Structure 1
Amino acid sequence: MSKSMKIGELAQQVGLSIRTLHYYDEIGLLSPSDRTEAGHRLYRDHDIIRLQKVISLQQLGFALKEIRECLENPDFALPQVINLHRARLREQMALSRTLLDRLDAIATQLQTTQSIAVENLIQAMETITMTTQYFTPEQQAILEARFEKRAVEWQDLLTEIRAEMNRGTEVNDPNVQRLAGAWRANMASLIHGDRQIYESFVKMYQHEGSETAGIGALDNDTFEYISKAVSFLSLAEDMDFVVTFKRFNVEANQVIAVGQQAIRELNFNFFGTEGMLLGLLAEGKSVAAQVLMDAGVSFGTTQQVIQEWLASSAILPEDMPEQLGFAPRAYRVMELALEALNQSAAQQPAGPVRANPGHLLLGILLEAQEGGGVASKILTDVFGLDLIQLEQQLRTAMVR
Structure 2
Amino acid sequence: MSNLMRIGELAQQTGLSIRTLHYYDEINLLSPQHRTSAGHRLYGEAEIARLQQILSLRQLGFSLDEIRECLESPEFSLPKVIDLHRHRLREQMALSRTLLDRLNGIATELETSQSVAVERLIQTMETISMTQQYFTPEQEKVVEARFREEEGKWQDLLDRARSEMEKGSDLTSLSARRLARSWRQAMKSLICGDAQIYKSLIGMYQQAGPEAASWGTLDTATFEYILKAVSFLSLAEEMDMVIPTAQIFTPQTQEVIQLGQDTLRQLDIGVFGTEGLLLGLLVQGKSIAARVLVEAGANLEAAKEAIVQILASHPTPPVDPSSDRLPYAPRTKRVIELALDRAERGDRTGIVPEDLLLAILDEAAEGGGGVATHILQEEFGINLPNLQQQLRSARSQ
Taking structure 2 as the reference length, the TM-score comes to 0.39
Larger RCO: 1 or 2 (CA < 8 Å, sep 6+): 1
| Max Rg structure | 2
